[in-house]
Amino acid sequence: MSETHLTETVNKLAERVAQLEARLAIQELQSRYTHYLLKQDFERIVDELFAKSAEISVEFSDSGVYRGVESVRGLYQAFAATRELPGWFIMHTTTNCVIELSEDCQSATAHWLSPGASGSDVSASWIWGLFYVDYVREDGQWFIQRSVFCPIFRNRYEESWARAADHGTVRILQAQPDAPPTLYRDYAQAKKEPQILKHHPQLPPRRK
């Protein structure tokens, strides 16, 4: 093997290792997000997980879009009221990730499936949907830049989602969004049409 060939091989292997490390770091970042939600560590979400230099935004369900660090911080501060509710929890698991890295490995886009649930001492609900998340790398560390969670359905445990007339709302939070929701559609209405996810973004293209 010539020295030139050896150098090319080492460089390719180094690039593959960097990509694998990035994917693992992004998966851990997203896992931390869902753990902080479950454990009600809402302050840590913004302080530890979201980008510092890039403009950030969050959207979930029918909540609307929250843009900028102060708006996003206000959203998660509003969640703090749930700490006073007996038995309350929210679990957004993230599975089946598709992560596409930019060519320079400084940003990424990911789609996640999210089967989840929430409850309290008086209620239990299913919340199944998808996360669409953009990430950026700052000073060698990965952060969330934009997070959208769009449920396909959210309904009470004891009622079939196919029959539920109302699929719930999160607008009761004491936080004011900066824009209306972009993807959410109530399943009671969406189920009457074919291809209920036709308005959702396509999977990011595979980089050659």
For 62, the token pair is 């029918």
* Measured CA distances, 45 to 1, 26, 73, 102 (Å): 49, 15, 9, 24
Per-residue pLDDT of the chain (208 residues; tens, 9 = 90+): 677 766 776 777 778 888 899 999 999 999 999 999 999 999 999 999 999 988 999 998 888 999 999 999 999 999 888 899 999 999 999 999 999 999 899 999 999 999 999 999 998 999 999 999 999 999 999 999 999 999 999 889 999 998 888 777 776 577 889 999 999 998 988 999 999 999 999 987 777 6
179: helix, coil or strand?
strand
Q: What is the pTM of this model?
A: 0.92
- What are the tokens at 118? 């929430």
Q: In the chain, where do the E strands start and end? A: 57-60, 65-67, 89-92, 95-101, 107-119, 124-138, 141-156
Domain ranges of the chain: 3-190
How far apart are the C-alpha atoms of 26 and 162, rounded to whole Å?
34
Q: Which residues are CB-neighbours of 87 under 8 A, at least 6 positions away?
A: 119, 120, 121, 122
The sign of the CA dihedral 71, 77, 82, 88 is positive
DSSP state, residue 50:
B
CB 36 within 8 A of CB 2: no
Give the count of beta carbons closer than 10 Å to the beta carbon of residue 185.
Answer: 19
pLDDT digits (tens, 9 = 90+) for 47-69: 999 999 889 999 988 889 999 99
- The answer to whether 73 and 161 are in contact (CB under 8 A) is no
- Amino acid 1: pLDDT: 65
Asked: is 3-190 a CATH 3.10.450.50 domain? The reply is yes
